[in-house]
Structure 1
């Protein structure tokens, strides 16, 4: 069996197995592409009243206490924006927030609840096909397998796409959309054209998705770069945070120190401590929150305010930088709106590839069934024609024999 035949059937069978799952992930990925802008637009009216001259913001620890009273549990983090007219945002869940007026401590609501709930549902569909409970891990495993399946199809598809020669007549049908085509010819043209143009973007999405989906891929990233595998992320303990708040902490001076750490800061995220003896962690961001290359981590002593560590993005080891970039490059946010648009177009291209690929596979299946039907019909009809065929062959043989001259060994031969 030729190598190209092996690649073709690997490509075809993988697409048939994972095609619909890939289409599902691509469609939900398109919906998630601009969720950051969707939140900003939907919550554009969440703002504080006019700030009076000389007004001072309440201490951040007091705002955390008020958020705790309103929610019944301490928030894991508090986001402070540089704009004095913006409220303080407390992340109370993955997609739930609470806004407070930083000058009065009054609640400004939970933002666009329906929009956030919608994106929470779509993300659940994208990450584990919406499966809940104990079966969620199976949904996550299925999604990760489909992601690897797409990687196999991209690699084998590129090998199958490779032209015989890089000349115009060979390249035009597989790199340019052609008008006037219908049926199988159109699907073949679209499959090749969309495939080659979206290949680089889809490879980035698939590779970063593999790192996010599999622990072994994440560990391989750090081993390949020669860096130690970091410990698992800390799990927030609300009971511990309540204990810290009861001891009257003073985080406002620490926040001031964080503001002075980076002159161009736009957002500061306070990770609410859940241990009285633990240092206080601030994430300082000079961007919009989706670009890890604009962020740095500041760790301060909770009692003295001493800087224990300041680690901007460029100071992290290569493994850490690549891991953080993988998270935000998967959605395109690491390069802003251009990257998000590229991710959106790549997902749309994946939908076209699944559609045209399955259409070509179905056409091949129908052609195979038609051939089998013709062979079966011929085999079933063959016994009725055998006597006729034998009679015809015997008559033809006699005719040929009568037209030949006698052989020398024949008794009729005259010397």
Structure 2
């Protein structure tokens, strides 16, 4: 048992030394991204909402697109959405170019959101996912963060094993479950490393495990396999050659199809994917009735308002639902603001684990070199 513990310890140390810098980057950026949605919503509050009754009549979704087209002739909208609140603005997504908010009454352009905040968050996300690599180097960055995350998962699991005192008595346990005052140097770093690890490891395992599913296709496919569902075909599979890029086409009239989507009882938000292909309007609808607050149903309609397919979130296969849970559990958002706070604390804790771990490892290496020279 002593030998096994020693092997695990050295694997833990080597893994941390190998991936520590990347893990530190992911933890810091993860903490900075923890409240991204709330920060953006707050910074754009004046564009996203209007004074009730600012317009004499509700503008149609097709008219919204036309207003955006007039203001941004070269833009290629990738989606249009609206929440079921009278004072909420229409949001038209322009892909990488941002978004435009439109007054639901007058049709006036309210703004394009807070580009500065969005750019900062995008840069944090780029570091978090790709260690700031871009273009053709992004796959390399993704491979680096994916591998570092796997090692982080091992560090969290092995750390729990190493944390357990050899003599599991309260006198030993209390030394490594809370911060002790008056410690300096190695003793302080040891206490912090063990205490933070004790309180954060379980959450870090959850966050790193969900990240594995997001980083690797085999892990994502595994969710479908273990739930007994068919693995969905990836976009582009089964095609001999990529299709030629088609010129962007604005829809002629989405009003009737949108009205069909609004017939969904109790809808909270509706989003339409653009451009529309094969006269099939695909809507994503938040019904607000599922435990997963990010559970979305899908409605497909022809341009005459005839519903050709209705797929409630509750009827989706368990693999797809589980994938959705993993996606938003990784950010903590599945459990609302409490989950986001836990995610923030865990990320900050992870960064301190790297710092204290490096400090302990460097001190160990220094002592080893000193003893070797003395010998």
TM-score (normalised: structure 1): 0.82
Structure-2 change in CA distance of 1:119 and 1:287 (3 Å): farther
The corresponding residue for 2:199 is 197
Structure-2 change in CA distance of 1:165 and 1:318 (3 Å): farther
Aligned positions of 1:80-91 closer than 5 A: 80-91=82-93
| 1:29-57, Cα deviation, whole Å (9 max, x unpaired) | 1111111111111111224355258x332
The corresponding residue for 2:229 is 227
* Max Rg structure: 1
Deviation (angstroms), 1:70: 2.8
Deviation (angstroms), 1:134: 0.9
Contact 1:279–1:302 at 8 Å: present in 2 too? yes
The corresponding residue for 1:151 is 153
2:78 is the counterpart of 1:66: no
Contact 1:240–1:274 at 8 Å: present in 2 too? no
Deviation (angstroms), 1:93: 2.0
Aligned positions of 1:170-249 closer than 5 A: 170-232=172-234, 239=246, 241-242=248-249, 245=251, 248-249=252-253
Please, which of 232, 252, 256 is the counterpart of residue 255 of structure 2? 252
Runs of 4+ in 1 over 4 A off after TM superposition: 237-241, 290-294
The corresponding residue for 1:16 is 17
Deviation (angstroms), 1:363: 0.9
Q: How far apart, in 2, do the equivalents of 1:94 and 1:349 lie?
A: 33
Aligned positions of 1:7-406 closer than 5 A: 7-46=8-47, 47-48=49-50, 50-51=52-53, 55-71=56-72, 72-94=74-96, 96-232=98-234, 239=246, 241-242=248-249, 245=251, 248-249=252-253, 251-263=254-266, 265-275=267-277, 277-286=278-287, 292-303=293-304, 305-375=305-375
Contact 1:48–1:86 at 8 Å: present in 2 too? yes
Contact 1:187–1:356 at 8 Å: present in 2 too? yes
TM-score (normalised: structure 2): 0.91
The corresponding residue for 1:395 is none
Contact 1:273–1:279 at 8 Å: present in 2 too? no
Contact 1:279–1:301 at 8 Å: present in 2 too? yes
Q: How far apart, in 2, do the equivalents of 1:295 and 1:266 lie?
A: 10
Q: For structure 2, which runs of at least 5 residues remain unmatched after alignment? A: 237-241
Give the structure, 1 or 2, with the largest relative contact order (CA under 8 Å, sep 6 or more). Answer: 2
Deviation (angstroms), 1:316: 1.2
Structure-2 change in CA distance of 1:238 and 1:118 (3 Å): farther
Secondary structure (helix, strand or coil) at the match of 2:110 reads coil
Deviation (angstroms), 1:267: 1.5
Deviation (angstroms), 1:143: 0.8
Residues matched between the structures, number: 366
Contact 1:293–1:313 at 8 Å: present in 2 too? no
Q: How far apart, in 2, do the equivalents of 1:346 and 1:192 lie?
A: 14
Q: How far apart, in 1, do the equivalents of 2:105 and 2:205 lie?
A: 48
Secondary structure (helix, strand or coil) at the match of 2:46 reads coil
